[in-house]
Amino acid sequence: MRKTFYVLAAISLLIAGCATINKQAIPVYVYYQFPPFVINDKPDLSDVFIQHLNQNTHYHWQLIPLTRAQLNHLREQGQRGAILWSRPQWFGNAPDLLVSEPILWDADVLVFNVKRPLTGSFPDAIFTKTFCALYGHRYLALEKYIANGSVKIVERERVEECVELLKANAVDFIQMEKSNLFTTYTPLLDKEIAFLEPAIDSFPRFVLLDAEFKPALAQLNRTIISLRNDPEWKKQLAHFGESRFVDLFDLSLEDLMQVEMP
């Protein structure tokens, strides 16, 4: 892992310092190491989105998958670029991060093993329970309960590891986004896993762009807006998940909060 990190850091420095023919290069970090954002069998959703940016802007957007902990370290070292599928709230006080048009509307749900369900409503349902979190990620709705000891926490590198712990009853619940649930884990619903309703958080996902790349923001936004009526983009989305996943790219926040899980 350490060797991989230094390779990523070197790539980031190289991209930030050079340009392709007629195009300024912008490194794009994606720290979601699970579908549909990152998939072992390429292309994944991040690849497809970046392809559209490269086809429709005057910049060369270079995708760099890494963990959230690695991204945090790169930013501490002064490396800058764009952060894909994120929100400014997840980076605390970062006034130099510019926010794009929303790409999709997502929601967090608390997932549990059907053999040992969470009962009641949030937050009472999670008190004295054990939660599996991903290293370096923030869980805004859960943080105060973790901090005051109401919820125990174990951490893992990958969401798949947390799912396996959940299936083995080694933890009581995990937090999962609808975007992930409607792609990878839909077949497990009602058979091995279930979820607490309603969603604990509903939110848009953006591209966060460091201020030094501000000239690219207008073209980035135009591309995002144009994708909403792009039939090829909709066709590509359908490759990754079911119809409810595709709908996440069209819903308003008010609509999303009323959408119930199956």
Provide the pLDDT confidence category of residue 86 given band limits of 50, 70 and 90.
Answer: very high
Q: Which residue has the tokens 């994120």?
A: 86
The residue ranking higher by pLDDT, 34 or 30, is 30
Query: Which pLDDT belongs to residue 189?
Result: 87
- Per the DSSP assignment, residues forming a β-bridge with 202 are 107
pLDDT at 182 over 90: no
pLDDT (average), residues 17-30: 78
Res 16: pLDDT: 46
Among the ranges given (82-91, 192-201, 244-253), the one the predictor scored with the smallest mean pLDDT: 244-253
Instruction: Place 256 in a pLDDT band, splitting at 50, 70 and 90.
Output: very low
Which band of pLDDT confidence, cut at 50, 70 and 90, is reported for residue 25? very high
pLDDT bin (cut points 50, 70, 90) of residue 53 is: very high
- Domain 2-105+203-258 and domain 107-202, same fold? Reply is yes
Q: Give pLDDT, residue 15.
A: 52
CATH of the domain spanning 2-105+203-258: 3.40.190.10
Rounded distance between C-alpha atoms, residue 66 and residue 55, angstroms: 24
- Which pLDDT score is estimated for 184? 86
Q: Is a pLDDT exceeding 70 seen at residue 144?
A: yes
Please give the CATH number for the structural domain made up of 107-202: 3.40.190.10
Stretch 156-172: mean pLDDT, rounded? 95
- For the chain, the structural domain boundaries read 2-105+203-258, 107-202
pTM: 0.75
